Structure 1
Protein backbone atom coordinates (compact mmCIF):
# COMPACT_ATOMS: atom_id res chain seq x y z
CA UNK A 1 0.00 0.00 0.00
CA UNK A 2 1.36 3.43 -0.97
CA UNK A 3 2.49 5.47 2.02
CA UNK A 4 2.67 9.28 2.28
CA UNK A 5 4.35 11.32 4.99
CA UNK A 6 3.44 14.97 5.59
CA UNK A 7 6.14 17.07 7.25
CA UNK A 8 4.71 20.33 8.60
CA UNK A 9 7.21 23.02 9.57
CA UNK A 10 7.66 26.74 10.05
CA UNK A 11 10.81 28.54 9.03
CA UNK A 12 11.88 31.96 7.83
CA UNK A 13 15.03 30.39 6.34
CA UNK A 14 13.52 28.69 3.29
CA UNK A 15 16.67 29.15 1.18
CA UNK A 16 18.63 27.17 3.75
CA UNK A 17 15.85 24.56 3.81
CA UNK A 18 16.06 24.16 0.04
CA UNK A 19 19.83 23.77 0.17
CA UNK A 20 19.38 21.19 2.91
CA UNK A 21 16.94 19.19 0.79
CA UNK A 22 19.29 19.36 -2.20
CA UNK A 23 22.07 18.07 0.03
CA UNK A 24 19.93 15.17 1.23
CA UNK A 25 19.04 14.21 -2.35
CA UNK A 26 22.72 14.22 -3.31
CA UNK A 27 23.88 12.30 -0.23
CA UNK A 28 21.22 9.59 -0.52
CA UNK A 29 21.56 9.03 -4.27
CA UNK A 30 21.01 5.34 -4.99
CA UNK A 31 19.80 4.69 -1.43
CA UNK A 32 16.68 6.77 -0.83
CA UNK A 33 13.35 5.05 -1.35
CA UNK A 34 11.01 8.03 -1.82
CA UNK A 35 9.24 8.03 -5.20
CA UNK A 36 7.80 11.57 -5.14
CA UNK A 37 8.51 14.70 -3.14
CA UNK A 38 6.62 18.02 -3.11
CA UNK A 39 7.06 21.09 -0.91
CA UNK A 40 4.20 23.59 -0.69
CA UNK A 41 4.09 27.06 0.89
CA UNK A 42 1.04 28.33 2.77
CA UNK A 43 -0.45 31.23 0.78
CA UNK A 44 -1.54 32.87 4.04
CA UNK A 45 1.68 32.34 6.03
CA UNK A 46 4.99 32.66 4.18
CA UNK A 47 6.86 30.85 6.96
CA UNK A 48 4.61 27.76 6.88
CA UNK A 49 5.70 24.87 4.65
CA UNK A 50 4.39 21.35 4.13
CA UNK A 51 6.54 18.67 2.56
CA UNK A 52 4.74 15.69 1.02
CA UNK A 53 6.88 12.58 0.53
CA UNK A 54 5.53 9.45 -1.16
CA UNK A 55 6.86 5.90 -0.76
CA UNK A 56 5.77 2.54 -2.22
CA UNK A 57 4.91 1.31 1.32
CA UNK A 58 5.35 2.10 5.01
CA UNK A 59 8.09 -0.55 5.30
CA UNK A 60 10.03 1.07 2.45
CA UNK A 61 9.64 4.47 4.11
CA UNK A 62 11.10 3.12 7.34
CA UNK A 63 14.18 1.96 5.44
CA UNK A 64 14.53 5.51 4.16
CA UNK A 65 14.18 6.91 7.69
CA UNK A 66 16.91 4.59 8.99
CA UNK A 67 19.52 6.00 6.60
CA UNK A 68 22.21 7.90 8.56
CA UNK A 69 21.97 10.74 6.02
CA UNK A 70 18.23 11.12 6.76
CA UNK A 71 18.85 11.34 10.51
CA UNK A 72 21.57 13.94 10.03
CA UNK A 73 19.46 16.05 7.66
CA UNK A 74 16.53 15.91 10.08
CA UNK A 75 18.64 17.29 12.94
CA UNK A 76 19.86 20.11 10.69
CA UNK A 77 16.28 20.81 9.57
CA UNK A 78 15.09 21.13 13.17
CA UNK A 79 17.84 23.68 13.78
CA UNK A 80 16.57 26.04 11.06
CA UNK A 81 12.86 25.65 11.89
CA UNK A 82 11.05 28.13 14.13
CA UNK A 83 9.44 25.24 16.02
CA UNK A 84 9.58 21.43 16.04
CA UNK A 85 8.24 19.99 12.75
CA UNK A 86 5.26 17.67 12.97
CA UNK A 87 4.85 14.43 11.02
CA UNK A 88 1.65 12.82 9.73
CA UNK A 89 1.86 9.25 8.43
CA UNK A 90 -0.80 8.28 5.87
CA UNK A 91 -1.66 5.00 4.18
CA UNK A 92 -3.10 5.92 0.78
CA UNK A 93 -6.59 4.45 0.45
CA UNK A 94 -7.52 6.34 -2.74
CA UNK A 95 -5.22 7.77 -5.39
CA UNK A 96 -7.15 9.88 -7.88
CA UNK A 97 -5.33 12.10 -10.34
CA UNK A 98 -7.38 15.00 -11.66
CA UNK A 99 -5.98 14.75 -15.18
CA UNK A 100 -6.55 10.98 -15.44
CA UNK A 101 -10.11 11.42 -14.22
CA UNK A 102 -10.72 14.18 -16.81
CA UNK A 103 -9.47 11.96 -19.62
CA UNK A 104 -11.62 9.03 -18.46
CA UNK A 105 -14.61 11.39 -18.47
CA UNK A 106 -13.69 12.46 -22.00
CA UNK A 107 -13.75 8.87 -23.26
CA UNK A 108 -17.16 8.49 -21.61
CA UNK A 109 -18.39 11.62 -23.40
CA UNK A 110 -17.19 10.25 -26.74
CA UNK A 111 -19.40 7.19 -26.28
CA UNK A 112 -22.25 9.12 -24.64
CA UNK A 113 -22.59 6.44 -21.97
CA UNK A 114 -23.22 6.86 -18.26
CA UNK A 115 -23.64 9.92 -16.08
CA UNK A 116 -20.79 12.10 -17.31
CA UNK A 117 -19.85 15.76 -16.74
CA UNK A 118 -20.72 18.08 -19.63
CA UNK A 119 -18.41 18.82 -22.56
CA UNK A 120 -17.88 22.35 -21.24
CA UNK A 121 -16.81 20.97 -17.86
CA UNK A 122 -14.35 18.51 -19.40
CA UNK A 123 -12.89 20.00 -22.58
CA UNK A 124 -11.30 23.41 -23.18
CA UNK A 125 -12.96 25.66 -25.77
CA UNK A 126 -9.75 25.76 -27.83
CA UNK A 127 -9.23 21.97 -27.75
CA UNK A 128 -6.99 20.67 -30.57
CA UNK A 129 -7.38 17.06 -31.70
CA UNK A 130 -4.66 15.37 -33.77
CA UNK A 131 -6.06 12.39 -35.68
CA UNK A 132 -3.95 10.64 -38.36
CA UNK A 133 -7.16 10.14 -40.37
CA UNK A 134 -7.85 13.88 -40.37
CA UNK A 135 -5.01 15.94 -41.83
CA UNK A 136 -6.49 19.21 -40.63
CA UNK A 137 -7.19 18.00 -37.12
CA UNK A 138 -10.17 19.21 -35.11
CA UNK A 139 -9.66 22.62 -33.51
CA UNK A 140 -12.20 23.92 -31.03
CA UNK A 141 -14.86 22.25 -28.94
CA UNK A 142 -17.52 22.52 -31.66
CA UNK A 143 -15.26 20.81 -34.21
CA UNK A 144 -14.57 18.03 -31.74
CA UNK A 145 -18.29 17.51 -31.14
CA UNK A 146 -18.88 17.22 -34.92
CA UNK A 147 -16.12 14.60 -35.15
CA UNK A 148 -17.68 12.61 -32.32
CA UNK A 149 -21.13 12.81 -33.90
CA UNK A 150 -19.72 11.33 -37.12
CA UNK A 151 -18.58 8.27 -35.16
CA UNK A 152 -21.80 8.05 -33.15
CA UNK A 153 -23.94 8.17 -36.28
CA UNK A 154 -22.06 5.17 -37.63
CA UNK A 155 -21.59 3.13 -34.46
CA UNK A 156 -23.05 2.38 -31.09
CA UNK A 157 -19.79 2.03 -29.18
CA UNK A 158 -17.98 2.01 -25.85
CA UNK A 159 -14.36 2.50 -24.78
CA UNK A 160 -12.64 0.21 -22.28
CA UNK A 161 -9.66 1.83 -20.57
CA UNK A 162 -6.89 -0.78 -20.40
CA UNK A 163 -4.04 1.34 -18.98
CA UNK A 164 -3.44 4.96 -18.03
CA UNK A 165 -0.13 6.65 -17.26
CA UNK A 166 0.08 10.26 -16.08
CA UNK A 167 3.23 12.39 -16.33
CA UNK A 168 3.05 16.12 -15.73
CA UNK A 169 0.19 17.56 -17.79
CA UNK A 170 0.08 14.51 -20.12
CA UNK A 171 -2.08 11.39 -19.75
CA UNK A 172 -1.40 8.36 -21.94
CA UNK A 173 -4.34 5.96 -22.31
CA UNK A 174 -4.31 2.50 -23.91
CA UNK A 175 -7.87 1.61 -24.86
CA UNK A 176 -10.10 -0.91 -26.58
CA UNK A 177 -13.08 0.28 -28.61
CA UNK A 178 -16.05 -2.03 -29.28
CA UNK A 179 -18.93 -1.02 -31.51
CA UNK A 180 -21.92 -2.08 -33.58
CA UNK A 181 -22.02 -0.70 -37.12
CA UNK A 182 -25.52 0.79 -37.05
CA UNK A 183 -25.38 3.58 -39.65
CA UNK A 184 -23.49 5.11 -42.54
CA UNK A 185 -19.83 5.70 -41.75
CA UNK A 186 -17.66 7.47 -44.32
CA UNK A 187 -19.88 6.13 -47.10
CA UNK A 188 -20.00 2.59 -45.72
CA UNK A 189 -23.65 1.59 -45.19
CA UNK A 190 -24.76 0.02 -41.91
CA UNK A 191 -23.89 -3.66 -41.70
CA UNK A 192 -24.86 -4.53 -38.12
CA UNK A 193 -21.40 -6.02 -37.63
CA UNK A 194 -19.74 -6.17 -34.22
CA UNK A 195 -16.32 -4.54 -34.59
CA UNK A 196 -13.40 -3.81 -32.30
CA UNK A 197 -10.35 -1.58 -32.41
CA UNK A 198 -7.39 -0.84 -30.15
CA UNK A 199 -5.39 2.33 -29.79
CA UNK A 200 -3.38 4.69 -27.64
CA UNK A 201 -4.07 8.37 -27.06
CA UNK A 202 -2.01 11.05 -25.33
CA UNK A 203 -3.98 13.97 -23.92
CA UNK A 204 -2.69 17.26 -22.54
CA UNK A 205 -4.57 18.93 -19.69
CA UNK A 206 -4.36 22.40 -18.24
CA UNK A 207 -4.21 23.31 -14.56
CA UNK A 208 -7.97 23.28 -13.98
CA UNK A 209 -8.15 19.71 -15.29
CA UNK A 210 -9.78 20.49 -18.65
CA UNK A 211 -8.42 18.59 -21.65
CA UNK A 212 -6.82 20.88 -24.23
CA UNK A 213 -5.11 18.60 -26.76
CA UNK A 214 -5.10 14.98 -27.93
CA UNK A 215 -2.90 12.80 -30.16
CA UNK A 216 -4.44 9.55 -31.46
CA UNK A 217 -2.97 6.32 -32.78
CA UNK A 218 -5.39 3.48 -33.53
CA UNK A 219 -5.95 0.48 -35.78
CA UNK A 220 -8.13 2.16 -38.41
CA UNK A 221 -7.00 -0.32 -41.07
CA UNK A 222 -8.17 -3.20 -38.87
CA UNK A 223 -11.56 -1.52 -38.50
CA UNK A 224 -11.91 -1.12 -42.27
CA UNK A 225 -11.02 -4.81 -42.69
CA UNK A 226 -13.74 -5.85 -40.24
CA UNK A 227 -16.25 -3.70 -42.13
CA UNK A 228 -15.36 -5.51 -45.38
CA UNK A 229 -13.86 -2.50 -47.13
CA UNK A 230 -10.54 -4.20 -47.84
CA UNK A 231 -12.30 -7.17 -49.48
CA UNK A 232 -14.02 -4.76 -51.87
CA UNK A 233 -10.68 -3.16 -52.74
CA UNK A 234 -9.16 -6.56 -53.56
CA UNK A 235 -12.00 -7.29 -55.95
Structure 2
Protein backbone atom coordinates (compact mmCIF):
# COMPACT_ATOMS: atom_id res chain seq x y z
CA UNK A 1 0.00 0.00 0.00
CA UNK A 2 1.35 3.42 -0.96
CA UNK A 3 2.43 5.48 2.03
CA UNK A 4 2.62 9.28 2.28
CA UNK A 5 4.28 11.39 4.95
CA UNK A 6 3.41 15.05 5.54
CA UNK A 7 6.11 17.19 7.11
CA UNK A 8 4.70 20.46 8.45
CA UNK A 9 7.19 23.15 9.44
CA UNK A 10 7.73 26.87 9.84
CA UNK A 11 10.96 28.51 8.80
CA UNK A 12 12.36 31.87 7.77
CA UNK A 13 15.33 30.09 6.18
CA UNK A 14 13.68 28.17 3.36
CA UNK A 15 16.47 28.81 0.85
CA UNK A 16 18.92 27.06 3.18
CA UNK A 17 16.43 24.25 3.70
CA UNK A 18 15.99 23.89 -0.05
CA UNK A 19 19.74 23.54 -0.54
CA UNK A 20 19.84 21.00 2.28
CA UNK A 21 17.23 18.88 0.51
CA UNK A 22 19.26 19.06 -2.71
CA UNK A 23 22.21 17.71 -0.74
CA UNK A 24 20.12 14.83 0.62
CA UNK A 25 18.87 13.95 -2.86
CA UNK A 26 22.44 13.79 -4.14
CA UNK A 27 23.79 11.83 -1.16
CA UNK A 28 21.02 9.21 -1.25
CA UNK A 29 21.09 8.57 -4.98
CA UNK A 30 20.50 4.86 -5.54
CA UNK A 31 19.60 4.29 -1.87
CA UNK A 32 16.50 6.34 -1.05
CA UNK A 33 13.08 4.74 -1.35
CA UNK A 34 10.99 7.91 -1.71
CA UNK A 35 9.35 8.02 -5.15
CA UNK A 36 7.85 11.52 -5.18
CA UNK A 37 8.21 14.68 -3.11
CA UNK A 38 6.33 17.99 -3.25
CA UNK A 39 6.91 21.09 -1.13
CA UNK A 40 4.13 23.66 -0.80
CA UNK A 41 4.14 27.14 0.73
CA UNK A 42 1.12 28.48 2.59
CA UNK A 43 -0.34 31.37 0.57
CA UNK A 44 -1.43 33.12 3.77
CA UNK A 45 1.79 32.51 5.73
CA UNK A 46 5.12 32.74 3.90
CA UNK A 47 6.96 30.96 6.72
CA UNK A 48 4.68 27.90 6.67
CA UNK A 49 5.73 24.95 4.47
CA UNK A 50 4.43 21.43 4.01
CA UNK A 51 6.42 18.69 2.31
CA UNK A 52 4.57 15.66 0.95
CA UNK A 53 6.74 12.58 0.43
CA UNK A 54 5.46 9.41 -1.22
CA UNK A 55 6.79 5.88 -0.72
CA UNK A 56 5.75 2.50 -2.15
CA UNK A 57 4.86 1.34 1.38
CA UNK A 58 5.30 2.13 5.08
CA UNK A 59 8.11 -0.42 5.25
CA UNK A 60 9.99 1.35 2.45
CA UNK A 61 9.50 4.66 4.26
CA UNK A 62 11.12 3.17 7.36
CA UNK A 63 14.05 1.97 5.26
CA UNK A 64 14.43 5.52 3.99
CA UNK A 65 14.28 6.95 7.52
CA UNK A 66 17.02 4.56 8.66
CA UNK A 67 19.52 5.82 6.09
CA UNK A 68 22.36 7.63 7.90
CA UNK A 69 22.07 10.49 5.40
CA UNK A 70 18.40 10.93 6.30
CA UNK A 71 19.21 11.13 10.00
CA UNK A 72 21.91 13.74 9.41
CA UNK A 73 19.72 15.88 7.17
CA UNK A 74 16.80 15.63 9.58
CA UNK A 75 18.85 17.07 12.44
CA UNK A 76 20.08 19.90 10.21
CA UNK A 77 16.54 20.52 8.95
CA UNK A 78 15.19 20.83 12.50
CA UNK A 79 17.87 23.42 13.20
CA UNK A 80 16.56 25.52 10.29
CA UNK A 81 12.96 25.41 11.53
CA UNK A 82 11.45 28.08 13.77
CA UNK A 83 9.81 25.31 15.80
CA UNK A 84 9.77 21.52 15.84
CA UNK A 85 8.19 20.19 12.63
CA UNK A 86 5.23 17.84 12.87
CA UNK A 87 4.76 14.61 10.93
CA UNK A 88 1.58 12.95 9.68
CA UNK A 89 1.76 9.37 8.40
CA UNK A 90 -0.87 8.36 5.85
CA UNK A 91 -1.75 5.08 4.15
CA UNK A 92 -3.16 5.98 0.72
CA UNK A 93 -6.68 4.59 0.35
CA UNK A 94 -7.54 6.35 -2.91
CA UNK A 95 -5.21 7.59 -5.63
CA UNK A 96 -7.00 8.88 -8.70
CA UNK A 97 -4.89 10.35 -11.47
CA UNK A 98 -7.59 12.56 -12.96
CA UNK A 99 -5.84 13.54 -16.19
CA UNK A 100 -4.99 9.89 -16.92
CA UNK A 101 -8.62 8.96 -16.29
CA UNK A 102 -9.79 11.59 -18.78
CA UNK A 103 -7.29 10.34 -21.36
CA UNK A 104 -8.57 6.80 -20.88
CA UNK A 105 -12.16 8.03 -21.23
CA UNK A 106 -11.26 9.62 -24.56
CA UNK A 107 -10.11 6.30 -26.01
CA UNK A 108 -13.13 4.52 -24.56
CA UNK A 109 -15.43 7.15 -26.08
CA UNK A 110 -13.86 6.91 -29.54
CA UNK A 111 -14.29 3.14 -29.32
CA UNK A 112 -17.99 3.39 -28.45
CA UNK A 113 -20.27 1.53 -30.87
CA UNK A 114 -22.88 3.55 -32.72
CA UNK A 115 -22.89 7.32 -32.92
CA UNK A 116 -19.85 9.04 -31.45
CA UNK A 117 -20.83 10.56 -28.07
CA UNK A 118 -20.13 14.27 -27.41
CA UNK A 119 -16.49 15.14 -26.76
CA UNK A 120 -17.02 18.51 -25.08
CA UNK A 121 -16.71 16.99 -21.62
CA UNK A 122 -13.25 15.68 -22.52
CA UNK A 123 -11.74 18.12 -25.01
CA UNK A 124 -11.28 21.87 -25.19
CA UNK A 125 -13.09 23.69 -28.01
CA UNK A 126 -9.70 24.90 -29.27
CA UNK A 127 -8.09 21.44 -29.20
CA UNK A 128 -4.91 21.24 -31.32
CA UNK A 129 -3.99 17.85 -32.79
CA UNK A 130 -0.55 16.91 -34.13
CA UNK A 131 -0.64 13.79 -36.32
CA UNK A 132 2.34 13.23 -38.66
CA UNK A 133 0.09 11.38 -41.10
CA UNK A 134 -1.94 14.56 -41.72
CA UNK A 135 -0.59 17.30 -43.96
CA UNK A 136 -1.89 19.94 -41.54
CA UNK A 137 -2.65 19.91 -37.84
CA UNK A 138 -6.27 19.38 -36.89
CA UNK A 139 -7.56 22.43 -35.02
CA UNK A 140 -10.73 22.46 -32.95
CA UNK A 141 -12.86 19.86 -31.20
CA UNK A 142 -15.32 19.63 -34.11
CA UNK A 143 -12.49 18.95 -36.55
CA UNK A 144 -11.15 16.26 -34.23
CA UNK A 145 -14.61 14.74 -34.11
CA UNK A 146 -14.61 14.52 -37.92
CA UNK A 147 -11.17 12.90 -37.78
CA UNK A 148 -12.46 10.31 -35.30
CA UNK A 149 -15.54 9.69 -37.45
CA UNK A 150 -13.28 9.02 -40.44
CA UNK A 151 -11.56 6.20 -38.55
CA UNK A 152 -14.83 4.92 -37.09
CA UNK A 153 -16.39 4.88 -40.55
CA UNK A 154 -13.63 2.58 -41.77
CA UNK A 155 -13.17 0.34 -38.73
CA UNK A 156 -15.12 -0.86 -35.71
CA UNK A 157 -12.61 0.90 -33.50
CA UNK A 158 -11.47 -0.68 -30.24
CA UNK A 159 -8.61 0.58 -28.08
CA UNK A 160 -6.77 -1.36 -25.41
CA UNK A 161 -4.78 0.81 -23.01
CA UNK A 162 -1.43 -0.86 -22.43
CA UNK A 163 0.25 1.76 -20.25
CA UNK A 164 -0.12 5.34 -19.02
CA UNK A 165 2.38 7.80 -17.57
CA UNK A 166 1.29 11.14 -16.07
CA UNK A 167 3.45 14.14 -15.30
CA UNK A 168 2.29 17.69 -14.64
CA UNK A 169 -0.31 18.57 -17.31
CA UNK A 170 0.59 15.72 -19.69
CA UNK A 171 -0.45 12.10 -20.01
CA UNK A 172 1.29 9.61 -22.27
CA UNK A 173 -0.85 6.62 -23.28
CA UNK A 174 0.49 3.53 -25.03
CA UNK A 175 -2.35 1.78 -26.80
CA UNK A 176 -3.28 -1.03 -29.17
CA UNK A 177 -5.92 -0.40 -31.83
CA UNK A 178 -8.02 -3.29 -33.11
CA UNK A 179 -10.70 -3.15 -35.78
CA UNK A 180 -12.36 -4.84 -38.72
CA UNK A 181 -11.97 -2.92 -41.97
CA UNK A 182 -15.59 -2.44 -43.05
CA UNK A 183 -15.51 0.97 -44.77
CA UNK A 184 -13.44 3.09 -47.14
CA UNK A 185 -10.09 4.11 -45.67
CA UNK A 186 -7.82 6.49 -47.57
CA UNK A 187 -9.31 5.31 -50.85
CA UNK A 188 -8.98 1.64 -49.93
CA UNK A 189 -12.31 -0.23 -50.19
CA UNK A 190 -13.38 -2.51 -47.32
CA UNK A 191 -11.36 -5.71 -47.04
CA UNK A 192 -13.10 -7.29 -44.07
CA UNK A 193 -9.72 -7.87 -42.48
CA UNK A 194 -9.21 -7.77 -38.73
CA UNK A 195 -6.21 -5.54 -38.09
CA UNK A 196 -4.22 -4.28 -35.13
CA UNK A 197 -1.97 -1.26 -34.76
CA UNK A 198 0.09 0.03 -31.86
CA UNK A 199 0.71 3.65 -30.99
CA UNK A 200 1.41 6.28 -28.39
CA UNK A 201 -0.45 9.51 -27.68
CA UNK A 202 0.63 12.41 -25.47
CA UNK A 203 -2.18 14.69 -24.32
CA UNK A 204 -1.73 18.11 -22.73
CA UNK A 205 -4.51 19.28 -20.41
CA UNK A 206 -5.70 22.84 -19.84
CA UNK A 207 -6.59 24.50 -16.55
CA UNK A 208 -10.15 23.18 -16.83
CA UNK A 209 -8.89 19.60 -16.92
CA UNK A 210 -9.78 19.13 -20.60
CA UNK A 211 -7.56 17.79 -23.37
CA UNK A 212 -6.09 20.84 -25.10
CA UNK A 213 -3.42 19.34 -27.35
CA UNK A 214 -2.38 15.92 -28.61
CA UNK A 215 0.63 14.34 -30.28
CA UNK A 216 0.21 10.96 -32.00
CA UNK A 217 2.72 8.35 -33.13
CA UNK A 218 1.49 5.05 -34.57
CA UNK A 219 2.35 2.32 -37.04
CA UNK A 220 0.29 3.52 -39.99
CA UNK A 221 2.64 1.87 -42.49
CA UNK A 222 2.10 -1.46 -40.77
CA UNK A 223 -1.65 -0.90 -40.84
CA UNK A 224 -1.66 -0.25 -44.58
CA UNK A 225 0.46 -3.35 -45.10
CA UNK A 226 -2.02 -5.49 -43.16
CA UNK A 227 -4.80 -4.10 -45.33
CA UNK A 228 -2.90 -5.22 -48.42
CA UNK A 229 -2.32 -1.68 -49.66
CA UNK A 230 1.47 -2.08 -49.98
CA UNK A 231 3.38 -4.26 -52.39
CA UNK A 232 5.28 -7.08 -50.68
CA UNK A 233 8.91 -6.22 -50.05
CA UNK A 234 11.29 -7.84 -52.50
CA UNK A 235 13.63 -10.41 -50.98
TM-score, structure 1 as length reference: 0.83
Deviation at 1:9, TM superposition (A): 1.9
Structure 1 unaligned regions, length at least 5: none
Change (3 A) 1:211 1:192: same
On the 8 A contact 2:181/2:192 being kept in 1, the answer is: yes
Distance in 1, matches of 2:26 and 2:221, equals 50
Q: SS where residue 183 of structure 1 aligns?
A: coil
Matches within 5 A, 1:101-180: 101-112=101-112, 118-180=118-180
Matched length: 232
Q: SS where residue 96 of structure 2 aligns?
A: coil
Change (3 A) 1:11 1:223: same
On the 8 A contact 2:113/2:156 being kept in 1, the answer is: no
RMSD after superposition: 2.9
Matches within 5 A, 1:81-100: 81-100=81-100
Matches within 5 A, 1:39-78: 39-78=39-78
Distance in 2, matches of 1:207 and 1:150, equals 29
Aligned: 1:31 with 2:31: yes
Distance in 1, matches of 2:145 and 2:29, equals 49
Distance in 1, matches of 2:31 and 2:162, equals 33
The more displaced of 208-217 and 184-193 is: 184-193
On the 8 A contact 1:127/1:141 being kept in 2, the answer is: yes
Distance in 1, matches of 2:159 and 2:213, equals 19
Structure in which a larger fraction of residues adopt helix: 1
Change (3 A) 1:69 1:198: closer
Deviation at 1:151, TM superposition (A): 1.2
In the alignment, what sits opposite 2:79? 79
On the 8 A contact 1:12/1:47 being kept in 2, the answer is: yes
Aligned: 1:18 with 2:18: yes
Matches within 5 A, 1:216-227: 216-227=216-227
Structure 2 unaligned regions, length at least 5: none
